[in-house]
Amino acid sequence: MDQYRLFIDIPLGNNEEKAISASHVIMTTFLSDKNFFVDLTPKVDEVNYRLGYDEDRQRSNYLSKNENGHVSNKKNKWVISISGQSNKTDV
């Protein structure tokens, strides 16, 4: 289903560790008010996000690495439930 999406581009510098840390702080702060999403119209069921790198031609997600240090191309997903609780997964 085609729909409009809000894309936000926040430059976080060229230090990967600091960018990952800042990403976690930003997303935790952004998603901390569960009631905001429950009462929002139009309804928001989930938030998908990833940390990319400008020089990386594929859509890598530096927030999702395996045990060998390889990054995933799957977005992180935060599912918003009607009760206001949320659940974080990778998609």
Can you tell me the mean pLDDT for 20-34? 89
In the predicted model, is pLDDT for residue 41 greater than 60? yes
Q: In whole angstroms, what is the distance from residue 38 CA to residue 76 CA? A: 20
**Res. 90 pLDDT band, cuts 50 70 90:** low
The 10s digit of each residue's pLDDT in 8-24 is: 899 999 999 999 999 99
Q: What is the pTM of this model?
A: 0.76
**Res. 78 pLDDT band, cuts 50 70 90:** confident
